[in-house]
Structure 1
Amino acid sequence: MTQRPALTGVILAGGAARRMGGQDKGLVDFRGRPLVAWVIEALAPQVDELLIVANRNLDRYRVFGHPVVSDLRPDFPGPLAGFEAALSAAHHDWVLTCPVDTPLLPPDYARMLCPACPQRAAVGCLDGHWEPLFSLLPKAALPGLSSMLDAGERTARRWLASLDPVLIALDAQAASLRDADDAAALRALAGTLPPLTRES
């Protein structure tokens, strides 16, 4: 079986978090730990390098022991700027991304989005809808991305479509890949889980 290529994993934590009342989503508590801690625990074993893209509280993110990079552009220009920062900092040819507010990221997430030796980008889909923050991106796409940002493009799907990505159905993992985008959703998600034990 062909081995997968080396991967840089990227946790996207750099948004303005308007739906979280302005809170830094990655530092919001989920079952006794910040959201980012859960995602690191799930993603780090699946990749060869792990980066966190964040634009606030950089020192607090650095405590988790992985490099923290920020958008290269001011004013929270959106997910495309996070992709640009990730691709610029990555040391490997392929970059696997996920948002910081997915504390139940599956332990086989990399395998799901990274078929053996990929030649194309990949984007996850839930219920038929693209979820751009769940992507596998080639570092070689960085120049084109930067050019689109320079031209004023801010729509992640439009740029991703230009890469002719493989679409990966994640519907079977919908419960684990929920993008808990506000505090109420986080509480609801936590309430669906079994009680924590000392081992967990």
Structure 2
Amino acid sequence: MRTTGVILAGGASRRMGGQDKGLILFRGRPMVAWVVEALAPQVDELLIVANRNLESYRAFGHLVVSDLRPDFPGPLAGIEAALTALSGDEILCCPTDAPLLPPEYAARMSGSSPAVASWGAYWQPVFCRLPRTLLTGLRHSLDAGERSATRWLASLSPRVVPLDDLAARMQDADDPEALKALDRATD
């Protein structure tokens, strides 16, 4: 089974004032640099889904693809782009704003897919493992107007992987306060 790590960096970043989250500095380096460094050794290949600043993302040395749909329709569109570009059997996704992704993420998510990470009582839909075979169904869902990654994943009855013990390192920094809190919490 060949696994492609996918960094979802294509969002509009409204909560970050429209800044490209992957390129925002965390401890002196772009957040995406941290995620690339953590995820690349855990997978067979790495792919970044980005919709702007493509050359900046390509500088990290991995394939960069963009959503196939306009207007930042959300993480499902990023997953669609990744599954379309996939050369392997499955993808292991994470967001670009999780700079402290733990080295055991892929191992913990291994096993049957589809799978979705959870902590607390909540699924974390951008932390998921999905087989290539879901591409056609995902396209149909997106064409029908589905935009909720949680709802779409629920329709698949995924294996839920509790990662409560890793949650502090996997929290995404999706707004300025969350980024500061992540930096403080993991000193």
Flag whether TM exceeds 0.5 (same fold): yes
Q: Verify: 1:152 aligned to 2:145, yes or no.
A: yes
Contact 1:128–1:169 at 8 Å: present in 2 too?
Answer: no
What secondary structure sits across from 1:96 in the alignment? strand
Please, which of 58, 61, 67 is the counterpart of residue 65 of structure 1? 61
C-alpha separation in 2, matches of 1:85 and 1:49: 15
How far apart are the structure 2 equivalents of 1:90 and 1:44?
15
Number of aligned residue pairs: give it: 187
Three-state SS of the structure 2 residue aligned to 1:101 is coil
Give distance in 2, aligned partners of 1:80 and 1:10. 12
TM-score (norm 1): 0.91
Matched-pair contact (CA < 8 Å) for 2:169–2:186: no
- Alignment deviations for residues 114-156 of structure 1 (CA, whole Å, 9 cap, x no partner): 12xx2x3000011020110000001100000001111111111
Partners of 1:122 and 1:102 in 2: CA distance: 18
Q: 1:77 aligns with which of 42, 50, 73?
A: 73
C-alpha separation between the residues in 2 aligned to 1:110 and 1:176?
Answer: 14
User: What is the distance in 2 between the residues matched to 1:185 and 1:159?
Assistant: 26
Which of 152-161 and 48-57 deviates more?
A: 152-161
2:100 aligned residue:
104
Contact 2:50 2:66 in 1 (8 A): yes
Deviation, structure 1 residue 184: 1.9
Per the alignment, residue 123 of structure 1 pairs with 116
Q: Which runs of 5+ in 2 are unaligned?
A: none
Unaligned runs of 5+ in 1: 195-200
Question: Matched residues in 1 for 2:179 and 2:57: separation?
Answer: 20
Q: Which secondary structure state, in structure 2, belongs to the residue aligned with residue 176 of structure 1?
A: helix
Larger Rg: 1
What residue is the counterpart of 1:14 in the other structure?
10
Distance 2:169 2:121 in 1: 16
Displacement of 1:193 in angstroms is: 3.5
Which of 172, 176, 182 is the aligned partner of 2:175?
182
1:197 aligned partner = none
1:132 and 1:185 map into 2 onto residues whose CA distance is 18
CA contact (8 A) 1:8 1:50 kept: yes
Report deviation, 1:162. 2.0
In structure 1, C-alpha distance between the alignment counterparts of 2:5 and 2:166, rounded to whole Å = 19
Q: Is the 8 A contact 2:90 2:131 kept in 1?
A: yes
Structure ranking higher in helix proportion: 2
1:191 deviates by: 2.4
Residue identity matched to 1:88: T
